[in-house]
Amino acid sequence: MADLKDRFVDFIRGLQDEICQAIEELDGLATFQEDLWDRPGGGGGRSRVLSNGKVFEKAGVSTSIVHGEMPEALKKNMKTEGSKFFACGISLVIHPENPMAPTTHANFRFFEMYDKNDTIIDAWFGGGSDLTPYYLFEEDAIHFHAEQKKAADKHDSALYPRFKKACDDYFRNHHRDEGRGIGGTFFDYCKANENHSLEDWYNFTTDMGKSFLPSYLPIVAKRKDQSYTDDQRYWQELRRGRYVEFNLVHDRGTLFGLRTNGRTESILMSLPPRVRWDYNVQVEEGSPEAELIAVLKEPKNWLN
């Protein structure tokens, strides 16, 4: 098990390097600023943030490796008597400047729980990638989902539809009855069972991590130079407000970080730099904005 944990730490560190390099190359102007931090109680992380680029307004790609005593709030939330924990993962959010290019989020993580004698009593993988467009291009949605499915199908053809539905269900602003975006995959608590070993879930999770760049970067490369109006930029900032609402109200990763004394600056690096909450904005019937809202209300099977 320790070997699995160490291998996953190596994987997320390498994936962070790979993603940051690819983002910098596509941007062509800005570079990531790195910030190393320590967590009170055990562990720390490596946060990287790119700001005010030619293509990307903000991109955050962080890895964290934290461990220690289980906080009482976390034990209560997880309904466990576990005494100690280890958690490692990579988390990223990328906000392009151009409203024709979508925001994206991805996270891949591993968690172990121990009793008072440091014996492992539970372990699982989780993660996923999802897309949040401001203007809907069906070919982009199809491409993103097709890459996710291709990676998942290498392991089990039942996994993509299962985790696609989980993504649609999870990344949803229930207080507004709409999705945060057009989905992707989301998986959590992937433990050893009669069908898949923990090693199987390691292989699945790392392949899903490797699929992120081919899922997302070609879309941005295609949309980054499209023209847009001030009104379209205004719409992007309104929709970013909904993105922020989800992260602060519903997101488990944000809550986990805050409850385990994580570094607040790194936890909240996903928030966009320019965002709006204007009162009761209505979209014009039949407009591209209305088309997006319709899809967010009712999740779509993009590969059917």
> Is a pLDDT exceeding 60 seen at residue 1?
no
- Average of per-residue pLDDT across 166-195: 96
- Average of per-residue pLDDT across 15-36: 98
Would you call 124 helix, strand, or coil by DSSP? strand
Give yes or no for a contact between 223 and 140, defined as CB atoms under 8 angstroms apart.
yes
What's this model's pTM, rounded to 2 decimal places? 0.94
> Is a pLDDT exceeding 70 seen at residue 152?
yes
What's the CA gap between 22 and 19, in Å, rounded?
5
Short-list 113, 140, 104, 115, CA closest to 226: 140
- What number does CATH give the domain 2-297? 3.40.1500.10
Q: pLDDT of 223-252, one tens digit each?
A: 999 999 999 999 999 999 999 999 888 888
What is the enclosing helix (H) or strand (E) of 114?
strand 103-114
pLDDT band at 65 (very low <50, low <70, confident <90, very high): very high
pLDDT band at 73 (very low <50, low <70, confident <90, very high): low
Q: Between these two residues, 221 and 81, which has the higher pLDDT value?
A: 221
Question: So which residues are the catalytic ones?
Answer: 105
Q: What is the pLDDT of residue 79?
A: 63
Short-list 126, 137, 131, CA closest to 223: 137
Q: Between these two residues, 165 and 257, which has the higher pLDDT value?
A: 165
pLDDT band at 259 (very low <50, low <70, confident <90, very high): confident
Per-residue CA distances from 187 to 84, 99, 119 (Å): 23, 28, 25
Per-residue CA distances from 44 to 60, 62, 75, 148, 255 (Å): 16, 11, 21, 30, 17
Q: How is the chain split into domains, by residue range?
A: 2-297
Q: What is the pLDDT of residue 263?
A: 79
Q: What percent of the chain has pLDDT over 90?
A: 82
Short-list 3, 81, 63, 299, CA closest to 169: 299
- Average of per-residue pLDDT across 67-80: 73
> Is a pLDDT exceeding 80 seen at residue 100?
yes
